[in-house]
Structure formats: C-alpha cells, structure tokens
C-alpha cells in the first residue's frame, strides 16, 4: 500500500505545462524535431537508395526526433516526476542527447561523403539540413554538460557513455559490412561482431532502471566484467582475421573514388573494429581498476 500511495501522490504532482515549450530546452527540442522531419522528407522525396548508409541515415532522422518528441511530451505533462521513481530522468535525457548527437553527426558526415557534389543542388540542400540536425543535437549536449552542468548517474557519465560508444561503433560496423558472404573466416568475424551487440543495450537499460537492477539474481557488475573480457577476446580475433582475409591479395583499386568504393567500405569495417577493440579494452581496464566511476567487484 505504501508504494501505491507514493505513486498516487507523485501522479497528483503531474500537470500539463505547455510553457515548457517556450523554454530554451523546449525550443531546442522543437528545432531538432522540425529539422529532422524536413531532412527525412527531403531525403525520402529524393528517391530510395540501396546503399546501407542511406538506410542508416533515414533511420537516424526518424528515431532521434521520435525520442525527442517522447521526451518533450513527458516533460510537458510533468510525467518525469513519475519516472524518477525508477529512472534518473536528467541522466536519461542527457544520455539520449549525447547518443543522438553521435548518430546525427555521423550521418551528416557520411551523407556529405556519399551524396554531395557541386552539380547536385537537391543533395546539397539535404546535406545542409543534415548538418543543421547534428548541430541542433550538439547544442543540447553543450547546454546540458557545460552550461547547466548536469550530473549523470550512468548514461551521461563515462561508464554508460562508453557502452553507448561501443554500441554506436558496432552499428557502424554492421552498416559497413559487405563482401564477406563467400569467406567462412569473415562470416565468423561477423558472428564475433554480433555476439556482444544485443547485450550492450540490456546492460545500459538495467543500469538505468534502478528497481530492475536490485531484482537481478546475479551481480550485474561481475556480469559486465565477464562480458567485457569476452568482447575484447572476440574483437581481438576479428581485428586479426578481418584484415588478413579481406585485404590479402586485394590492394586498394586505382579507380577507388572517395565517395563510393567497396574496398573503402571494407576498410571502414577494419577501422571500426580497431576502434571498438580500443573502447572495450579501455572499458575493461577501467572496470578492473575501478576508476572514473567504473564499478568492480
């Protein structure tokens, strides 16, 4: 009964506050949603592309504004008062802004690289809006972390943000995967990329939902440590095998343009493999030493 009464008392504090839209935070959210929507529609009218980077861009311009809209509605109705019972709301919103910044900025860079040209006026307009979307989300991170100096409990601090970075780099690897289907060794590399990926969002969600974390029948910090050890081993394997079996007797073609080249995309997989290996290794070392907020048992 005590928990029910607490929820009822908390719900009674939730009120409709449209004035939140007139604040700097609300205005920034409206700009993010509108810019993302315009960019999504412009790209959709441009015509569908079979390129995986185009699909990633379309997903980003849909996912980020939807999450921003949900956050805006929750804050407008003061429902974050209810969520704070099981979730650190400021940490979640700042973490989502940081994640959206990573996604939108990376999309702006890849879209400019693959689709911008001096004679492609329509594509240049899309590139401009893509850059503005990235800037809008970057401004929110600057506002939260520098201007307002918001403190985070997990997602917006190093332990959680490392997990976000690892998941983001994994997504970039999946977006760039190509030319591996006829090589068993490379297929094993793809499996090595896949194994850690679904566990990362589960770790992030469990650390953020404080009530869920206390109900686990095992020690989450110990599980994370074991997960990091396995991830480092898998990425060491992929970092060795992928370059050998992909680039042996396969030098960069002389006619490999910077805007689109299969060899260059395959090289990006190798590059992101080393980036994630470094991230997982640093995460493992920090967790082992218990520094910078990385817990250990």
Residues composing the chain: 297
- Pair of tokens at residue 228: 């990091």
What string of DSSP letters covers 202-219? HHHHHHHBHHHHHH-SS-
DSSP E strand stretches across 86-167? none
Residue 237, sorted as left (phi over 0), alpha (psi -120 to 50) or beta, turns out to be alpha
- pLDDT, residue 15, reads 59
Helix (H) or strand (E) segment spanning residue 170 = helix 158-176
- pLDDT, residue 37, reads 96
292/228 Cα distance (integer angstroms): 17
All residues at 6 or more sequence positions from 50 whose CB lies less than 8 Å from its CB, including other chains:
none
- pLDDT, residue 123, reads 87
First-residue to last-residue Cα distance in the chain:
35
- pLDDT, residue 88, reads 82
- pLDDT, residue 241, reads 96
- pLDDT, residue 234, reads 97
Query: pLDDT 10s digit of each residue in the chain, 297 long?
Result: 454 555 555 555 555 566 666 788 888 999 999 999 999 999 988 776 667 888 899 999 999 999 999 999 888 887 777 666 678 888 888 889 999 999 999 999 988 888 887 778 888 999 999 999 999 999 999 988 887 777 778 888 888 999 999 999 999 999 999 888 888 999 999 999 999 999 999 999 888 887 777 777 888 888 999 999 999 999 999 999 999 999 888 888 877 765 567 888 888 999 999 999 999 999 999 998 887 677 765
Residue 249, sorted as left (phi over 0), alpha (psi -120 to 50) or beta, turns out to be left
- Pair of tokens at residue 121: 């006026």
């Amino acid at each position: 009964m005590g928990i029910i009464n607490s929820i009822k008392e908390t719900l009674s504090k939730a009120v409709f506050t449209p004035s939140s839209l007139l604040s700097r935070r609300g205005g920034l959210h409206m700009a993010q949603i509108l810019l993302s929507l315009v960019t999504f529609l412009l790209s959709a009218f441009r015509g569908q592309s079979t390129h995986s980077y185009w699909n990633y861009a379309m997903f980003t311009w849909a996912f980020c504004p939807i999450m921003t809209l949900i956050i805006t509605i929750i804050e407008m109705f003061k429902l974050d008062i209810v969520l704070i019972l099981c979730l650190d709301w400021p940490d979640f919103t700042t973490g989502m802004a940081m994640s959206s910044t990573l996604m939108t900025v990376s999309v702006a860079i890849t879209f400019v690289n693959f689709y911008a040209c001096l004679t492609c006026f329509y594509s240049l307009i899309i590139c401009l809006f893509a850059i503005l979307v990235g800037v809008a989300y970057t401004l929110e991170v600057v506002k939260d972390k520098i201007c307002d100096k918001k403190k985070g409990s997990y997602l917006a601090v190093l332990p959680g943000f490392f997990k976000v970075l690892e998941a983001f780099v994994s997504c970039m690897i999946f977006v760039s995967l190509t030319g591996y289907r006829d090589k068993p060794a490379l297929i094993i590399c793809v499996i090595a990329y896949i194994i850690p990926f679904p566990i990362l969002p589960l770790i992030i969600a469990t650390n953020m939902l404080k009530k869920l974390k206390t109900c686990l029948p095992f020690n989450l910090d110990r599980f994370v440590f074991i997960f990091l050890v396995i991830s480092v081993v898998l990425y060491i394997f992929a970092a060795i095998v992928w370059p050998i079996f992909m680039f042996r007797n396969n030098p960069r073609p002389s006619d490999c343009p910077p805007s689109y080249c299969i060899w260059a995309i395959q090289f990006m997989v190798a590059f992101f493999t080393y980036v994630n290996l470094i991230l997982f290794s640093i995460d493992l070392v920090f967790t082992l030493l218990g520094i910078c907020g990385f817990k250990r048992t």
